[in-house]
Structure 1
Amino acid sequence: MSLMSRLFTRRTPEKRLEHGLKLIEEEDFTGGFAEISAAAQTGMPEAQFRVGRLYLDGIGIPRDLVEGGRWLRRAAQAGWTEAQFVLATLYLLGLPDAVESDTFELSDVAQNITGTPNYPRAAHWAKLGAGGGSPDAQALYGYVLSAGPEDIRNPDEALVWYRKAAEANCAQGHLGLGLAGLHSAQSDEELAQAVHHLKIAADGNVGSALYLMGIAYERGAGISQDVVAATASYGKAAEHNVRSAQARYGLALIEGRGIERNISRGETWLRKAALAGDFEAAALLGDIYARGGDLAPNYLEAANWYRAAAEGGHAAAARALGLLFVTGAGVTRNEEEAAKWFRLATQNGDSASSADLGNLLLVGGGTSEDRLATRSLYEQAAQSGDLIAAFNFGVCLAEGVGAERDEEQAAIWMRKAAEGIVNAQYWYGRMLIEGRGVPVDPQEGREWMRKAALEGMADAEHSYGQLLVKGEGGPVDHAEAAEMFERSAVQGNVGSMFAMGAMLGGGHDLPEDREKALFWFRKAADQGHPAAQLMMGRYLTRGLGGEPDIEEGCRWYRKAEAQGLSQATIELAQTLRPSAPVSPEAAAPASQGVAETAHPAIG
């Protein structure tokens, strides 16, 4: 057709729309937009809708959310149901108010989705689209009625619209029925019916339904448990950018749960979820990099992820970040920062952090404001009946953290906490034995110490063992003392390692076993226990636990000597001059020092 023919040939809006859509398919976006826009100017609803979409997508014209919304509104006002549905969806995302006006303002340019849902406007347009027979609009209207503010919410009517959409094979309608069913299910049959609807929605490739099916398969809720199917569902949902699914899929890949193990891919998915705002995923990444293993430890990376999770309110991540600041791993050592994160973790419900914070403040960490705020926090929680807080408040009073030292009040709170807190049983036992805030009562103190020891607290096991050796607060019982020392030593208590060596070395109501004694002395000596280093020197130079080894024995004497143990100096000199007479101190039995080993300090 010639140029003159095109100029004088009058085309209907329908023809222009048809031609414009064809040009878009042929990737002539500018020409296609011009044709469709011309049709829209005549008031044709479908063309108005198409122009609106072109503006929203930036096809043939720079992207313009406000202008796109205005064209959608015109089409929706003319009764175009698809425009009504899209407009309602956009209002749930947060369309700017400028969409409601046809007057152009310079400020309209480059406006974006606000992120604040406008439920009344979304309800208005979704209801019109639903009434016009659009299954998608029916499902969306059901959602607005079930999730909107109180003045709009109507769960019963929402179910009506969900059913209409589901009857039209709308996957979102089935999703709505499934979610409603999950909340209201009172029996296995009702739960199975809810999951049935979710599966239909998942088969329709709805991301949130795929995620929920992953949970259902994983837990065996309303359907047979199937770990492989669960992981597959999480993977599909992850591809739909469902961040919780990305986190679960990443974890499944790392653990090899329902899928071949792949650390690198798993870390990638966790990272995606974390960057999208999933704080649990960020915390998991922190754990992975802090723990090391398949991936090399990277404390700087761990600290960054812990911080991201902690700032989002993740209590365990805040505590982990605090611990990094205490040790200086991946961050500059900073006790004030550590106290800040411990306090945040405590406020978010992590009880272990309150103990970490208390311990940090006890050794002078944090600021005076930290100490005052922490004491106040503990006092308020203790007054409300929180036993952990009662223990921590007792520690603050006993050590003068954030207030004047008050051992009598400390003992009162410690006694309350001892009803359920192992650490408080240990502390209260020590206070009774030493007469701190209460009259000296070794019998009752020993009983509280025994309770804490039987709960497996290493320090309590060690202290109770000492009481049994000395017969303080009750009869001597070397056999039970050895049992307590061994339990404590296995948990890493160095004093108990030394005590085990001394108990087995002779001089107690136990069979002598110097080979085992040497084993325990070595364990304690390796961790810097000076008396154990002395005993290593003694055992090795004299061959008390096997063949003599003068050279190694002298090395241990020198280590003990370097820690200020004068007895090591004496015995080292005598070992190097074998013809000299042996002093009574040098001939001391292997058991020397058990009964005299100091109790761990309360503070």
Structure 2
Amino acid sequence: MRCTGKVTTSRKNARTTRLSFLDRIISLLSASAALRRAIHLSKQSRVTQAFMLFARAAGAGIAEAEYRVGRCYLEGSGVPVSLTESVRWLARAAAQDHVEAQWLLAALHVHGSGTSGNRQAVAGNSSVAGLFSGEMALEPDFVAAEKWARRAAEHGSADGQAVLAYILTSGPESMRNLEEARRWYQRAAEAGCPQGALGYAQSLARSVTDDEGRRKVVENLRRAAQAGLVPAIYLLGVMTERGVGAERDLAVAAELYRQAAVKGYRSGQASWGRALMCGLGVKPNLAEGESWLRRAGLAGDPDAAALVGDLYVRGGSLPPNYAEAAIWFRRAAEAGHHTAARALGLLYLTGAGVARDPREAANWLRISADAGDLQARVDLANLLLRGVGDGDPEDLAKARHWLEQAAAAGDLVAALNYGLCLAAGVGVERDERQATQYLRRAADEVASAQYWYGRMLVDGRGVEANAEAGRAWISRAAAVGIADAEAALAEMMVNGRGGPRDPLAATALFEKAAGKGHVGAMFALGLLSGGGYDVPTDRTVAQHWFRAAAERGHAEAQKMLGRYLARGLAGERDPEAARLWLGRAAAQGLADAELDLASIRPMLPTQPCERARHVTDLADL
């Protein structure tokens, strides 16, 4: 028994020695045999031994072996990854008209052979699926790519035809030829290439206008989707959701979006998230829907990021979070989403979630406006006309043009603002007659327009003066809380213009406007309370309102406050403060404030002897 065991072990060792020796003999004697042996070892996942034999056969100039070595270097199979070596060996095989080497080399050049991310995109695909992943590579070499793809295509390679069609569709402008691309895509699709079917479907979708053509698009998308191409799965979902080329079925569309989403396709994630949020073909699930939208947004999908921003603005069960909304709107806007750019601009304009910054608001609104967003154009025009920006005449003219377009399209707020442009000659030649027409059009629904149209009627600007009608329009605007209208109506009630005098009602209106920060109303309340207007005199109240208006830069209020303080009209005499306020009024160009300022003696000194001398001087006055 012992002898038998030794013999058996000896025989096994001898067999192993003979196999290893056989491998060495084969590799030495025949490059072709080495290639066959390498393929056999590769199928057994003995990749290191396989690579050594592939390399030996490639060294003998066998094209298939050169191709295999290139694939090994590309995929890191039995050897460390080396893109340089991969390209070198694939090029050698391609030069010998090895068709698979040609299209793979073309695909590498399309992706850009200097980036590891692109290498993985190609190496991870046994076909040209990497080109149709929706990810754009860096530093491609389309000239070399077109050369090798065309050679592979002309040799009948369906993969090569798909790569060539991709180059003719998405390559540099000088290379693009959509008609030729469609022909190559069609040949690839008819040869059973899933990528060809996807490309052919996309090519057809750009031009078909009839139902038969749309059905052909869906047919090719379905073939590509059945082969597992994720973009095709997603696009088939889009067509199914819209009922284009296929029966509309939201449940089927949602399932297709889900499949694309779980495979990491960001557009699929966005659509699946939207379906969950809105209950489109699936039971609503807000939390899961938001989660998928976030994934898509973080992956760079601008629509998803914008939707997440909208969620934070709306709030729902929680209060709105404008700071978080601004982060997502910025992410979407920087990816080219013009609606998100407008939303971000409005946040900067109002100071919601970000520091208020009209210039930054104008920057984002301009981006959205330049992308064709009509509402952003109106918003930007309003900002520019309020003085935000550099006052560039070209910008003002553009703002006027945008407002005119929006007004013509029925935007009543734009009609109001365009009317104001015409009335003031901002960005356009002054035309008060036309201004009143735009203001009248807007006045039916826009309260601010009611105020301005009323002003034009009262002043007779662009229309025959009619104080009664003007007062009626201003009253309508005041009734809904427009501060300018409240102040204007109150003034008319004080002087009886366009209707009866009513100083007490005027005082109440001025107080409403002042409570909203209307500086002119504050000044008016000071005048009314100071006496002489059929309103109870209270100079303490008058001084309070003069101070409120003066602190907000109202020149006349500064002058009146200075007089009150200089003369002690409210019981408080303060020459130093009087000099300060009169000086501010004079600095704004009020000549009588300068006279008042000159009449005030220098500040009384603090030394007793000096005080006594000045008291004597005052007594002599």
Coarse TM-score class (shorter-chain normalised): 0.5 to 0.7
Cα distance in structure 2, aligned partners of 1:236 and 1:448: 63
Report if the CA contact (8 A) 1:445-1:473 is conserved: no
- Corresponding position of 2:98: 80
Deviations 1:189-212 (A, max 9, x none): 232233222222222222232222
Residue in 2 that maps onto 1:171? 194
Structure 1 Cα separation of the partners of residues 201 and 322 of structure 2: 43
Equivalent in 39, 44, 47 of residue 62 of structure 2: 44
Residue in 1 aligned with 2:225?
202
Cα–Cα, structure 1 residues 259 and 152, in superposed 2: closer, same or farther, change >3 Å? same
Distance 1:275 1:529, change over 3 A: closer
Going from structure 1 to structure 2, the CA distance change for 1:190 and 1:347 (only over 3 Å counts) comes to closer
Q: In the alignment, what sits opposite 1:181?
A: 204
User: How far apart, CA to CA, are the structure 2 residues paired with 1:176 and 1:80?
Assistant: 24
Residue 457 of structure 2 corresponds to 433
Greater displacement, 180-189 / 250-259? 180-189
Q: Match for residue 277 of structure 1?
A: 300
Distance 2:330 2:88 in 1: 42
Instruction: Tell me if the contact between 2:422 and 2:434 (Cα under 8 Å) persists in the aligned partners.
Output: no
Q: What amino acid sits opposite 2:52 in the alignment?
A: A
1:326 is displaced (CA, Å) by 3.6
> Which residue in the other structure is 1:33 paired with?
51
Aligned equivalent of 2:347: 324
Report the RMSD for the aligned CA atoms in angstroms: 4.7
Are 1:446 and 1:473, in contact at CA under 8 Å, matched by a contact in 2? no
C-alpha distance 339-153 of structure 1, shift in aligned 2 (>3 A): closer
Q: Offset of 1:169 from its aligned partner? A: 2.2
In structure 2, the CA distance between the partners of 1:323 and 1:385, relative to structure 1 (3 Å rule), is: closer
Cα contact 1:126–1:140 (8 A) shared by 2: yes
Contact 1:411 1:428 (8 Å CA) reproduced: no
Relative distance call for 1:359 and 1:148 in structure 2 (3 A) is closer
Indicate conservation of the 8 Å contact 2:103/2:160, yes or no. yes
Deviation at 1:330, TM superposition (A): 2.8
Quote the residue 1:61 is aligned against: 79
Corresponding position of 2:326: 303
Query: CA distance change for structure 1 residues 5 and 130 in 2, over 3 Å: closer, same or farther?
Result: closer
Compared CA separation, residues 17 and 411, structure 1 to 2 (3 A): farther
CA contact (8 A) 1:378 1:393 kept: no
1:220 is aligned to 243
CA distance in 2, matches of 1:16, 1:444: 106
Q: Is the 8 A contact 1:429 1:445 kept in 2?
A: no
Cα 1:327/1:170, change in 2 over 3 Å: same
Q: Please tell me whether the aligned partners of residues 231 and 252 of structure 1 are also in contact (alpha carbons under 8 angstroms).
A: yes
Pair 1:240–1:385, CA change in 2 (3 A) = same
- Give per-residue Cα distances to partners, 1:398-444, cap 9 Å, x unaligned: 6798x9xx995466456458668965964662342332743454499
Q: In structure 2, what is the Cα distance between the partners aligned to 1:193 and 1:271?
A: 34
Structure-2-length-normalised TM-score: 0.61
Using the TM superposition, give the Cα deviation of residue 216 of structure 1 relative to its aligned residue in structure 2, in angstroms.
1.4
Correspondence 1:369 to 2:390: yes
How many residues end up aligned between the 2 structures? Answer: 458
Q: Deviations over 1:279-298 (max 9, x none)?
A: 22211111112222267743
Deviations 1:323-355 (A, max 9, x none): 323444332333432333233333333333345
Partners of 1:130 and 1:182 lie apart in 2 by 23
Tell me the secondary structure at the aligned position of residue 97 of structure 2.
coil
Q: Distance in 2 between matches of 1:76 and 1:350?
A: 50
Counterpart of 2:400, as a letter, is E
Secondary structure of the residue that 1:260 maps to in structure 2? coil
| 1-structure distance, mates of 2:234, 2:35 | 40
2:271 to 234, 244, 248: 248
Q: Which residue of 2 aligns with 1:352?
A: 375
1:130 paired residue number: 153
The Cα of 1:225 is off from its aligned counterpart by: 0.7
Distance 2:187 2:377 in 1: 53
In the superposition, relative to structure 1, how do residues 392 and 43 fare at CA in structure 2: closer, same or farther (>3 Å)?
Answer: farther
* 2:240–2:247 contact (8 Å) kept in structure 1: yes
Any stretches of 5+ residues in structure 1 without a counterpart?
A: 98-112, 476-497, 500-523, 531-562, 565-603
For the structure 1 residues 129 and 214, does the alpha-carbon distance in structure 2 shift closer, same or farther, using more than 3 Å as the test? same
**Partner Cα distance (1:46, 1:417) in 2:** 80
Give per-residue Cα distances to partners, 1:226-250, cap 9 Å, x unaligned.
0111112222233454433322122
User: Structure 2: which amino acid aligns with 1:246?
Assistant: Q
1:341 corresponds to which letter in structure 2?
Answer: W
Tell me whether 1:340 sits opposite 2:379 in the alignment.
Answer: no
Letter matched to residue 378 of structure 1: A
Q: 1:391 to 1:177 in 2, by over 3 A?
A: same
Q: CA deviation at 1:217?
A: 1.0
Q: How does 1:426-505 map to 2 (within 5 A)?
A: 426=450, 429-435=453-459, 437-439=461-463, 441-442=465-466
Question: How far is 1:255 from its partner?
Answer: 1.6
- 1:260-312 deviation per Cα after TM superposition (whole angstroms, max 9, x unaligned): 32333323332333233322221111111222226774333211111122223
Are the structure 2 counterparts of residues 19 and 164 from structure 1 closer, same or farther at C-alpha, using a change threshold of 3 Å?
Answer: same
Partner of residue 569, structure 1: none
Question: Whose radius of gyration is greater, 1 or 2?
Answer: 2
Give the partner amino acid of 1:189. Answer: E
Over residues 442-486 of structure 1, what are the superposed CA-to-partner deviations in whole Å (9 max), with x where a residue is unaligned? Answer: 499779969x99xxx9789x989x99xx9x9999xxxxxxxxxxx
Amino acid at match of 2:108: L
- Give the letter for the 2:287 counterpart: S
Give the fraction of aligned pairs with identical amino acids, expressed as a percent: 37
Deviation, structure 1 residue 320: 1.8
Tell me if the contact between 2:403 and 2:418 (Cα under 8 Å) persists in the aligned partners.
yes
